[in-house]
């Protein structure tokens, strides 16, 4: 049996620290190329195959995803976001009803990119911040209303 490399009291001391992994939080079905991490590619990859002409001489080739540079409007952030996006994802965004709905309704593991997860977290944080501000404004309005009604009510003695 191999000796312990770390004393038990030290391992208990560091047991509360969560180990960070270099791998993304979502599992990828296959290796993605780096360019797909900087845009919304929707799981599209470079595909490889052969040209098969009449002469039957096979030549190796690849098919790249149809990537477009687009400025997509985010309703939550009230701004245009420049992003590289495939035409398949553009159709999905139209189907869902906008960039925000696409990002919020799609699971993290199906977004397949760091850029998409970053945009999704920005939108969620902005929505949470707006909800907190709205709740605070409502509570301030209610306390002001209570103060006005209590000040205008005659004192019964």
CA distances to 48, 62, 115, 123, 134 from 51, rounded to whole Å, are 10, 9, 34, 44, 60
Domain spans of the chain, in order of start: 28-146
**For the chain, percent of residues with pLDDT exceeding 70:** 75
Q: What is the pLDDT of residues 81-121, one digit of tens each?
A: 999 999 999 999 999 999 999 999 999 999 989 999 999 99
Q: What is the pLDDT of residues 35-44, one digit of tens each?
A: 999 999 999 9
**Which of left, alpha, beta for 134 (phi over 0: left; psi -120 to 50: alpha)?**
alpha
Domain at 28-146, CATH class: mainly beta
For 53-57, what is the mean pLDDT? 94
């Amino acid at each position: 049996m191999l000796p312990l490399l770390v004393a038990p009291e030290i391992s208990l001391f560091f047991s509360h620290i969560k180990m960070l992994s270099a791998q993304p939080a979502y599992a990828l079905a296959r290796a993605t190329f780096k360019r797909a991490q900087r845009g919304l590619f929707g799981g599209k990859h470079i595909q490889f195959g052969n040209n098969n002409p009449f002469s039957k001489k096979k030549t190796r080739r690849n098919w790249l995803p149809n990537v477009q540079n687009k400025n997509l409007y985010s309703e939550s952030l009230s701004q245009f976001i420049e992003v590289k996006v495939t035409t398949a994802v553009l159709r999905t965004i139209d189907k869902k009803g906008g960039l925000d709905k696409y990002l919020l309704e799609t699971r993290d593991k199906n977004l397949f990119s760091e850029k998409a997860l970053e945009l999704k977290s920005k939108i969620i944080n902005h929505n949470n911040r707006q909800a907190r501000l709205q709740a605070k404004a409502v509570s301030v309005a209610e306390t002001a209303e209570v103060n006005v009604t209590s000040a205008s009510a005659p004192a019964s003695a």
